């Protein structure tokens, strides 16, 4: 039951069709087999009844007065010993008189029927089964006959019941074969029906998956009338999501511009003030600028993280950053090398990818002696993730300080330029996308920043 509960709708429908088909076909097979047995027994009884009537005729017109020589039934099976075909006449009806039998009984006697059919009159024909002299199953018919001399006689004719069983078995094999083929056809047709019926749902699921992975930005295509409203509502939801994101970005940008000018004026005025007061104003202005940049960045990334249907190829972004930093590091003779699989995409916004990689490469360049390398690999199994490794050959960072380096506004070396927000912003952005930033030892001797982000392989 647990397996069925976890199965898909199509699997449940096919299993249900299989079980119902098996139930119906099994019931039909039992009923048809029973009907065939009854028909076979009836035909066998009609053959026995012909012999019984011939035996009755011979008894009613005997050649001798003691009725000891009934007419010949004309079938040699009644003359062969233990052939399975017998007749027997008991005079007196209750077995108290003389008994004569076919030569095939070879001196034996037929036993009484165990479960005969009910008798409604003394002349009724009874049918039933008995065990023969050689323990063979026999089909027997019996009737009581009153001869002109007023004596009742019990006449019985028996035939080999194995003929009935062979006929029944011969019927069961083609019946089972036919019903088996019929069941297989029903299951195949049901599976085909389920497949055709579930195809629109599969297409809708694929469309949603393409949107989630950034390969599409809306649900396209024709759907049946019962699914078309759902597709339209999902498209409207996606459009609403994009509008909310753009509105949030616009508001964040407006707020940044609105606060930037007054803050610059305050900082410029504070620069002209000497003493402790001016220093305090400049210090707090810097704190305000740092805090404003932090929270505006958080608001922007939160708005960006709700966007669906975005995918950014890694190679062009990293290549562009490499050209920019090559110019910036020209005076320091620091080189940037990179190795990125073609067609690998980040499932998110391009500007967020540039923000994360820019911060990591910039941080590595500040500490590198001569080289910064960027390597991208793809994780195997489950949802694909891109592992972006940024290595430098600098002095590295002690393990006990790495968690502190990811904290907001924390600068471990005041001699290097920066605000202490870069790694924290990268960590927050990665987390919003379901990824992770880790700091490790680099094989080059410095620090390795391992950025894990959701990815997909471009179909091109």
- Please give the average per-residue pLDDT across 44-56, as a whole number: 89
Which class for 383: exposed (0-12), middle (13-18), buried (19 or more C-beta within 10 A)? exposed
Give percent of the chain with pLDDT exceeding 70: 81
**254 compared with 150, residue with greater pLDDT:** 150
Same domain, 143 and 27: yes
For residue 146, is pLDDT > 50? Answer: yes
- Report d(CA 26, CA 23) in Å as an integer: 5
Residues 22 and 124 in one domain: yes
pLDDT at 121: 52
Domain assignment of residue 155, yes or no: yes
34-67 in b/e form (b: 16+ CB < 10 A) is eebbeebbeebbeebbebbebbbebbeebeeeeb
- Determine which of 141-145, 234-238, 307-311, 367-371 has the lowest per-residue pLDDT on average: 307-311
Higher pLDDT, 52 or 332: 52
- The secondary structure of residue 1, as a DSSP letter, is -
For residues 287 and 400, membership in a common domain is answered with no
Q: Could you tell me if 77 and 85 are in contact, meaning their C-beta atoms sit under 8 angstroms apart?
A: yes
Q: Mean pLDDT highest for which of 31-45, 143-157, 340-354, 394-408?
A: 31-45
CB 44 within 8 A of CB 163: yes
Domain final position from 289, 305, 321: 305
User: What pLDDT score does 391 carry?
Assistant: 92
Q: Looking at the structure, do residues 265 and 348 belong to the same domain, yes or no?
A: no
pLDDT at 296: 64
Where does the pLDDT of residue 159 fall: very low under 50, low under 70, confident under 90, or very high at 90 and above? very high
Q: Would the pLDDT of 445 be above 60? A: yes
Residue 175 lies in a domain: no
Co-location of 373 and 445 in the same domain: yes
For residues 445 and 322, membership in a common domain is answered with: yes
* Tokens at 163, concatenated: 């003929």
Query: Across the strands, what pairs with 152?
Result: 146
Is position 322 within any domain? yes
- Which residue among 137, 166, 195 closes a domain? 166
Res 414 pLDDT > 50: no
Regarding whether 316 and 300 lie in a shared domain, the answer is no
- Percent of the residues in the chain that have a pLDDT greater than 90, as a whole number: 10
- C-alpha dihedral over 247, 252, 254, 259, to 10 degrees? 160
List pLDDT tens digits, range 354-401.
888 988 998 888 888 888 999 998 887 667 888 999 999 888 888 888
Q: Assign residue 88 the CATH number of its domain.
A: 3.30.450
Using CA atoms, how far apart are residues 20 and 199, in angstroms rounded to an integer?
A: 23
Token reading at 390: 């940024």
Q: Which residue has the higher pLDDT, 89 or 147?
A: 89
What pLDDT, on a 0 to 100 scale, did the predictor assign at position 42? 92
Rg of the chain taking only CA atoms, in angstroms: 49
- What is the residue range of 374's domain? 312-457
Residue 412 has pLDDT above 50, yes or no: no
Residue 5 lies in a domain: no
318 and 281, same structural domain?
Answer: no
Residues 146 and 118 in one domain: yes
pLDDT tens, position by position, 25-43: 889 989 999 999 999 999 9
| Final residue of a structural domain among 279, 305, 331 | 305
Which range has the worst mean pLDDT, 29-43, 67-81, 110-124, 187-201?
110-124
**Does residue 273 form part of some domain?**
yes
Decide if 341 contacts 376 (C-beta within 8 A): yes
Residue 151 to residue 101: CA distance in whole angstroms = 18
The answer as to whether 413 is a domain residue is: yes
pLDDT at 66: 46
In a domain, residue 232? The reply is no
pLDDT at 419: 42
Residue 85 is predicted with a pLDDT of 92
Is there a contact between 380 and 399 (Cβ–Cβ < 8 Å)? no
Question: Is 145 in the same domain as 259?
Answer: no
* pLDDT reported for residue 157: 93
Q: Which helix (H) or strand (E) holds 265?
A: helix 228-271
Number of domains making up the chain: 3
Do residues 335 and 300 share a domain? Answer: no
Long-range pairs of 263-269 with CB within 8 A, sequence gap ≥ 24: 263/288, 263/289, 263/292
Spatial neighbors of 155 by CB under 8 A, at least 6 apart, are 52, 55, 56, 59, 87, 88, 89, 142, 143, 144, 145
In a domain, 159, yes or no: yes
The 10s digit of each residue's pLDDT in 314-347 is 889 988 888 888 888 888 778 888 888 888 888 8
DSSP letter for each residue of 203-258: HHHHHHHHHHTTS-SS--S---TTTHHHHHHHHHHHHHHHHHHHHHHHHHHHHHHH
Claim to verify: residue 162 and residue 247 sit in the same structural domain: no
């Amino acid at each position: 039951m647990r397996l069925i509960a976890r199965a898909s709708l199509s699997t449940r429908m096919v299993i249900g069709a299989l079980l119902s088909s098996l139930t119906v076909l099994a019931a039909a097979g039992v009923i048809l087999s029973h009907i065939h047995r009854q028909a076979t027994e009836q035909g066998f009884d009609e053959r026995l009844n012909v012999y019984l009537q011939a035996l009755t005729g011979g008894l009613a017109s005997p050649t001798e007065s003691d009725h000891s020589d009934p007419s010949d039934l004309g079938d040699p099976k009644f003359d062969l010993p233990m052939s399975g075909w017998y007749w027997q006449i008991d005079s007196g009806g209750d077995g108290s008189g003389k008994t004569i039998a076919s030569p095939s009984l070879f001196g034996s006697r037929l036993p009484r029927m165990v479960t005969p059919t009910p008798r409604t009159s003394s002349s009724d024909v009874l049918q039933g089964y008995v065990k023969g002299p050689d323990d063979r199953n026999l089909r027997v018919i019996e009737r009581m006959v009153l001869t002109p001399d007023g004596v009742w006689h019990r006449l019985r004719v028996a035939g080999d019941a194995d003929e009935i069983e062979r006929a029944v078995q011969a019927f069961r094999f083609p019946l089972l074969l036919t019903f088996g083929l019929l069941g297989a056809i029903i299951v195949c047709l049901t599976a085909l029906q389920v497949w055709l019926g579930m195809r629109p749902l599969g297409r809708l699921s694929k469309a949603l998956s393409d949107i989630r992975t950034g390969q599409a930005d809306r649900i396209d295509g024709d759907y049946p009338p019962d699914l078309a409203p759902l597709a339209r509502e999902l498209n409207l939801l996606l459009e609403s999501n994009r509008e909310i994101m753009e509105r949030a970005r616009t508001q964040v940008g407006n707020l940044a511009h609105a606060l930037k000018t007054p803050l610059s004026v305050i900082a410029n005025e504070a620069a002209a003030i000497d003493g402790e007061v001016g220093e305090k104003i400049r210090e707090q202005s810097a704190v305000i600028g740092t805090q404003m940049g932090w929270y505006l960045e958080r608001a922007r990334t939160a708005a960006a993280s709700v966007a669906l249907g975005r995918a950014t190829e890694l190679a062009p972004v990293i290549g562009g950053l490499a050209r920019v930093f090559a110019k910036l590091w020209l005076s320091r003779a620091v080189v940037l090398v990179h190795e990125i699989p073609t067609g690998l995409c980040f499932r998110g916004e391009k500007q967020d990818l540039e923000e994360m990689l820019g911060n990591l490469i910039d941080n590595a360049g500040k500490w590198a002696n001569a080289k910064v390398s960027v390597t991208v690999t793809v994780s195997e199994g489950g949802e694909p993730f891109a592992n972006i490794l940024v290595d430098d050959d600098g002095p590295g960072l002690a393990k006990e300080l790495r968690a502190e380096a990811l904290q907001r506004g924390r600068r471990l070396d005041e001699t290097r330029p920066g605000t202490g927000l870069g790694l924290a912003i990268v960590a927050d952005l990665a987390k919003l996308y379901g990824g992770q930033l880790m700091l490790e030892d680099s094989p080059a001797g410095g620090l390795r920043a391992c950025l894990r982000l959701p990815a997909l392989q471009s179909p091109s």
